[in-house]
Amino acid sequence: MTRQGQGFVRHIELDSRVGTDRYPFSLPVVTHLAGMGRLDLDPGVTFLVGDNGSGKSTLVEALATAAGFNAEGGSRSFRFASRSSESDLGDHLTLCWNRRPRTGFFLRAESFYNVATEIERLDEGSGELLRAYGGRSLHERSHGQSFLDLVYHRFGPNGLYMLDEPEAALSVQGCLAMMVRFRELLRQGCQFVVATHSPILLAMPGARILQIETGGTIEQVEYEQAEPVALTRAFVNHPERFLDRMFADDA
Ligand SMILES: Nc1ncnc2c1ncn2[C@@H]1O[C@H](COP(=O)(O)OP(=O)(O)O)[C@@H](O)[C@H]1O
Ligand SMILES: [Mg+2]
């Protein structure tokens, strides 16, 4: 048994009257979600997969803001903003809570640099806050090392973690190290919602994989059927078949 927690967020509901023709409400996955009524989350790990542009980041960000996290990333005490591209989907999303987490973090791979800057600013040179993140400025670590510092040092028991492509900066070894930590955190009652393209992370035992299909429907799929897994496997087994087709015009 990997997981001990009951999860914090049982399911999410999107106001079915949100239909408009502007982003984010115009996205097929958002229309689909509004039509579904509710989407159940796993008490342990829920992965969101789907092609680029399918709406994974939009959904994770909406979940994170509805849970009270800063839209650009960080813990619930972070209130900085260096851009205003976030959508207001979170305002229309209702989270159904089992109980509230003790801690948590929203990690956006794409704006992690700004989070690292904010941590430095809040630390004010005292080193106190930095200790919670491994003791060194995340700017003095490689991108991948700083992610692992975060997950190993800052993430803790009974936490709710919303992560957008946490594998972005990680080597395969780094992904494996992250999974070992995830397993430990799951045993300590944590819940994760993770948008990912990683066929490695998706192998977390017991995880629920929700795949955004072309057209915006959300389907629960098994590991082998998840597109990052099936496509990576097909490619790695026979790269030449893909390359021949992709570069057919070169001859
Ligand atoms: N701030 C924004 N304003 C308008 N359109 C956006 C904005 N952010 C993302 N989009 C569009 O919404 C779609 C889904 O984006 P996103 O959620 O980032 O996809 P994913 O994370 O699955 O790659 C994309 O077509 C993208 O261009
Ligand atoms: Mg994204």
CATH number for the domain including 191? 3.40.50
pLDDT tens digits, 192-222: 999 999 999 999 999 999 999 999 999 999 9
Q: Could you tell me the pTM of the whole model? A: 0.90
- The number of the ligand nearest the C-alpha atom of 164 reads 2
Query: Is the pLDDT at 16 greater than 90, yes or no?
Result: no
CA of 53 to the centre of ligand 1 (A): 6
CA of 195 to the centre of ligand 2 (A): 7
Query: Is the pLDDT at 43 greater than 80, yes or no?
Result: yes
Q: What is the rounded end-to-end Cα distance, in angstroms, of the chain? A: 54
Residue 167 inside a domain? The answer is yes
Do residues 116 and 28 make contact, with C-beta atoms less than 8 angstroms apart? no
Q: Is the CB of 53 under 6 A from ligand 1?
A: yes
Residue 214 inside a domain? The answer is yes
Percentage of residues of the chain with pLDDT beyond 90? 65
When divided into structural domains, the chain yields a total of 1
Residue 183 inside a domain? The answer is yes
Query: Is the pLDDT at 82 greater than 60, yes or no?
Result: no
Residue 227 inside a domain? The answer is yes
Residue 108 inside a domain? The answer is yes
> Where is pLDDT greater, at 140 or 52?
52
**Ligand 1, atom nearest to 51 Cα:** 22
Its domain, for residue 49, covers 9-250
> Residue 65 class from Cβ within 10 Å (0-12 exposed, 13-18 middle, 19+ buried)?
buried
Residue 1 inside a domain? The answer is no
One-character DSSP codes across 160-216: EEEEE-GGGG--HHHHHHHHHHHHHHHHTT-EEEEE---TTGGG-TT-EEEEE-TTS
Residue 240 inside a domain? The answer is yes
* Contacts of 80-83 spanning 24+ positions with Cβ under 8 A: 80/114, 80/118, 82/111, 82/114, 83/111
Tell me the mean pLDDT in the region 56-68.
94
> Where is pLDDT greater, at 80 or 131?
131
Q: Is the CB of 23 under 6 A from ligand 1?
A: yes
